[in-house]
Amino acid sequence: MPLGSTETEVAEDTLLDTATADGWQLVLYNDEHNSFDHVIEMLIEVCGHDATQAEQCAVLVHFKGKCTVMSGAYDDLEPKCTKLLSADLTAEIEA
């Protein structure tokens, strides 16, 4: 489903509203082997995203190469990062 630049900007603005600059960020990176459906399912399951938020993150990861999918305390993000990695996604926690 192709998105225009205006729709992509709206998706970015929505995500920025949900992420804070405080603490740590769980960042998901693009790869060449996972489907959009798998990424969306994992964001819903692991990060507690609703379907719309998960789809927006997947689109941003695809077009921008990465996306902050959660922010918060390191101890809260670490198990989520581990689950994403176990699901064959590429993720890391950044300051």
Tell me: the pLDDT tens digits for 20-35?
A: 445 999 999 999 999 9
Task: Give the mean pLDDT of 64-78.
Answer: 98
How far is it, in rounded angstroms, from Cα 80 to Cα 5?
A: 30
CA distances from 20 to 1, 27, 30, 70 (A): 28, 13, 21, 9
Task: Give the mean pLDDT of 68-82.
Answer: 98
Indicate yes or no: pTM above 0.85: no
pLDDT at 9: 59
Is pLDDT at 90 greater than 60 in this prediction? Answer: yes
The domain spanning residue 19 has which CATH number?
Answer: 3.30.1390.10
Domain total of the chain? 1
**Domain limits at 89?**
5-94
